[in-house]
Structure 1
Amino acid sequence: MSEGAYKVVIPARHGASRLPGKPLLDIGGRPLVAHVWERARASRATEVVVATDDARVAAACREFGAEVAMTSNAHRSGSDRVAEVIRARGWGADDIVVNLQGDEPCMPPGLIDRVAADLAALAGVGVATLAYPITDRDQLFDPHVVKVVTDAQGFALFFSRAPIPWHRDEFLRNQSHLPDKVPFLRHIGLYAYRAGFLQQYVDWPPAPLEVAESLEQLRILWHGERIHVSLADEEPGPGVDTPADVAVVLRRLALE
């Protein structure tokens, strides 16, 4: 792989428990996964592959021109699906692969490039991701918004659905606003992996912290590995987790 080159895999599972058939949801006359694919195609990725376990999703993707990899329907996560694509295609251990979730139709292509470039610049690191500042109290206390705290070099210390860091004195007095000068960060669920590292990671059993928080990235920290977290220079648009999110995404796309 040439310097700076990377690949994108978009896991697109039809049988999502919260919103079955999500990749094929109509978003402005096109399936959701088509919008995600277009974001990846607008990045500098040298290859973009949609990984799915469903023939209906595969057919829809091929209709709009996407490259498709059929994967097992037994995978627990998108990471497992990406790892299967890596194995099937024989990608090298040092190849950089970005996992772009199939429900992110508003992900800026620049952030896809950014997370891949960040990992490429970090020798000996297996995974990189992004975060964005939290300035809203409701977002900090929302369990659907994942928070992250990092060390001085930008490596993740912990991810949580709870408000972290917890400012003991300020929150004891008042929880209606955010304390000043505290780096509250929202995790952006966009990952760049070295292919060899991802192959190892998916073979590890789920970690207790991962199960408790329902956050698979905690498996990496549990095993003593590092995740680099860079600060994104733009906020990603909304993803699609519920039927109500479709209207929000449509409004966002209309403004772009």
Structure 2
Amino acid sequence: MSQLNIKVVIPARYGSSRLPAKPLLEINEKPLFWHVVQRVLEAGILIDDILVATDDERILLKAKELDVPVVMTSTSHISGTDRINEVARLQNWTDDTLVVNVQGDEPLLPPDLVKGLTTFAVENNHFDIVTAVTPINSLDDFHNPNVVKAVVTEIEQALYFTRSPAPLNRDEPMDYSLALRHIGIYLYKVSVLSRVCEFPESLLEKSEKLEQLRALSNNLTIGVMRYLGDLPHGVDTQEDYLALKRLMK
């Protein structure tokens, strides 16, 4: 994989409205971001190609203590995409470098998801950005605004992302067989990353609070890989954290 010039950036913000200091929460005496780094290593990415991007001195110091590559970024970014764009500039990565944006709060991130996304991106390089989805398996998830839905065409291209139930079957409103949950992992070239970040926050992005809508609002294409493996829940709340802590004993 390293021959493809792939970098993985793991945004780790200190501030979180629902769970402050989340990246530093410990499971088995290691912080959340450390566990995410281990999953990326298990996907075959070299440690020198992984970077934790933080906005806080405490996370920076902890990463250095654990020998995890880390870089300090601005506290004023609107989205993880903006933070990763700053990292690409700070590191002087070339325009054709492939950057994977991995969420820093998923300590059980499946390594095969990262592998699959990189393979999909190389095989479908006509897309500006690639991301992943998985089937929605319950009506509750279909209607849950915290479960982001992706509306995807037959050629695996995203039409829209929304917190609303979609796509809605007009004749059978209880049918969610076409519904797909968006997985918050992205891959893009540095050249595309800089283009996305040149655009201002879009109206749809601001309304839905979904950063990928900035790309769609400005005519960039997003390819979608369907992931059918198990997808453990990330850490959004204290309850999530405690559940994962029990699971990972």
TM over 0.5, shorter chain: yes
**1:65 aligns to what SS in structure 2?**
coil
CA distance in 2, matches of 1:89, 1:83: 10
2:6 is matched by which residue type in structure 1?
Y
User: Counterpart of 1:223?
Assistant: 218
Q: Is the 8 A contact 1:5 1:45 kept in 2?
A: no
Identity %: 40
- Equivalent residue in structure 2 for 1:159, among 155, 158, 161: 161
- Equivalent residue in structure 1 for 2:79, among 47, 63, 77: 77
User: Counterpart of 1:213?
Assistant: 208
Q: Which moved more, 1:41-50 or 1:191-200?
A: 41-50
Q: 1:28: how far off?
A: 2.8
CA distance in 2, matches of 1:139, 1:29: 32
**2:172 aligns to what SS in structure 1?**
helix
User: Counterpart of 1:241?
Assistant: 236
Sort the Cα spacing of 1:2 and 1:11 in 2 relative to 1 into closer, same or farther, 3 A. closer
Q: Is the 8 A contact 1:155 1:228 kept in 2?
A: yes
Show structure 1 runs of 4+ deviating over 6 A: none
1:32 is matched by which residue type in structure 2?
L
C-alpha RMSD over aligned residues: 1.6
Q: Does 1:24 align with 2:24?
A: yes
1:91-240 maps to which residues of 2 (within 5 A)? Answer: 91-171=93-173, 175=174, 178=175, 182-240=177-235
Sort the Cα spacing of 1:2 and 1:9 in 2 relative to 1 into closer, same or farther, 3 A. closer
Q: 1:155: how far off?
A: 0.3
Q: 1:63: how far off?
A: 1.5
**1:86 aligns to what SS in structure 2?**
helix
Q: 1:197: how far off?
A: 0.3
Q: Unpaired segments of 5 or more residues in structure 2?
A: none
- Equivalent residue in structure 2 for 1:65, among 64, 67, 71: 67
Q: Which moved more, 1:44-53 or 1:220-229?
A: 44-53
User: Counterpart of 2:12?
Assistant: 12
Describe the superposition over 1:20-60 as per-residue Cα deviations: whole angstroms up to 9, x where unpaired. Answer: 11110122322111111111121222410001111110111
CA distance in 1, matches of 2:8, 2:127: 18
CA distance in 1, matches of 2:247, 2:193: 33
Q: Is the 8 A contact 2:106 2:234 kept in 1?
A: yes
Q: Which moved more, 1:3-12 or 1:91-100?
A: 3-12
Q: Is the 8 A contact 1:149 1:185 kept in 2?
A: yes
CA distance in 2, matches of 1:60, 1:208: 37
Question: TM-score with structure 1 length normalisation?
Answer: 0.91
Q: Unpaired segments of 5 or more residues in structure 1?
A: none
Describe the superposition over 1:67-111 as per-residue Cα deviations: whole angstroms up to 9, x where unpaired. Answer: 011111111111111111101111111111100111111111111
CA distance in 2, matches of 1:170, 1:253: 40
Q: Is the 8 A contact 1:147 1:163 kept in 2?
A: yes
Q: 1:250: how far off?
A: 2.2
Residues matched between the structures, number: 247
User: Counterpart of 1:37?
Assistant: 37
Describe the superposition over 1:101-150 as per-residue Cα deviations: whole angstroms up to 9, x where unpaired. Answer: 11111111111121122112223322100000112111111110001111
Q: 1:209: how far off?
A: 1.1
CA distance in 2, matches of 1:62, 1:31: 12
Q: 1:253: how far off?
A: 2.7
**2:100 aligns to what SS in structure 1?**
strand
Q: Which moved more, 1:39-48 or 1:197-206?
A: 39-48
Q: Is the 8 A contact 2:156 2:223 kept in 1?
A: yes
**2:171 aligns to what SS in structure 1?**
helix
